[in-house]
Amino acid sequence: MTFKPIRTLLSSVALTLAFNTASAETFVFTAIPDEDETKLVERFEGIANYLSEELDADVRYIPVKSYAAAVSAFRNNQVQLAWFGGLSGVQARSLVPGSQAIAQGTEDQAFYVYFVAHSSTGLEREDSLPEDVRGKTFTFGSKGSTSGRLIPEYHIRETFGEAPEEVFSRVGYSGNHTRTLRLVESGTYEVGAMNFAVWEKELEDGNIDTDAVKVIWKTPGFPNYQWSIRGDVDENYGEGFTDRVREALLALDDPELLESFPRSAFIPASNDDYEPIRSVAKEIGIID
């Protein structure tokens, strides 16, 4: 027990040092940790290299350990750009005046959550959330995740008229979508909710035991991931810098980089696109 605070402190110090190694001219970005860290580092180091060339600037990616840490880094100007989910983007932009959602994946206009179940439950795919999930064990992803928590909780409440803790025998939070998949696949939890894009990529790569876990429901579409940039970027990096970042992201056409998200392309986005997310989060009490 005595070692946990020390490890936490060291982790915090290491993160602070990482941020501080960037010069005043360095343009720094982060991303919510929605998948395994090794996958994220590979993906976003590629984005950093691409943006460095397109912007003719020193661009760095710095990983964070939680959704909340990504929002805090954006608020504190430790990063100027971030790849957020719908909810974390709404939260972050509300903390920094003038911040904008500038680009989203084509697929993010109508994103989906998959409810998945272990084969031992006997649950099958249906056109609505199956009533027989009641009484099962259930895991969300991260507490700050749109597709891992906000949207699943909204639909659970809509279907049953009760909080998740009243519907399921046990409720957990895995931390990310990949871990949700593995926990349900192993039977640690009977049912879980996860990002459809992670499921489809893992399925394509042959990383899912389809005899052990299956999709039982696909939610209606909703706006999700986006690139958000701080409102003071032009002041600190030069007039028109926000537009240059937006244009670089929209011009990204490297098939390997896009596949790593996975997205087919990036398209323009605005804060107004995420008003439905803000409304749902307010409705179920996640934000004021």
C-alpha distance from residue 122 to each of 3, 85, 230 (Å): 43, 32, 47
The domain segmentation of the chain, as residue ranges, is: 3-108+223-283, 112-218
User: pLDDT tens digit string along 232-271?
Assistant: 999 999 999 999 999 999 999 999 999 999 999 999 999 9
| Residue (of 136, 135, 154) closest to 145 by Cα position | 154
Residue 200 burial (CB count, 10 A)? 16
Residues 121, 124, 128, 129, Cα dihedral to 10°: 10
**Residue found by looking up tokens 């499921």 in the block:** 199
Q: How far apart are CA 272 and CA 100, in angstroms?
A: 10
What integer is the mean pLDDT of 112-126? 98
- Region 124-132: what's the mean pLDDT? 97
What was the pLDDT predicted at 24?
55
What are the structure tokens assigned to 58, written together?
């020193």
Distance CA 66, CA 177 (A): 13
Contact 47, 86 (CB under 8 A): no
Per CATH, the number for 112-218 is 3.40.190.10
DSSP label of 119: G
Question: Among positive and negative, which fits the CA dihedral 242, 16, 22, 40?
Answer: negative
Q: Are 125 and 219 in contact (CB under 8 A)?
A: no
CATH of domain 3-108+223-283: 3.40.190.10
Tens digits of residue pLDDT in 7-45: 333 344 444 444 444 445 899 999 999 888 888 999 999
pLDDT of residue 2: 32
For residue 119, give both structure tokens: 């084969």
The three-class DSSP label of residue 143 is coil
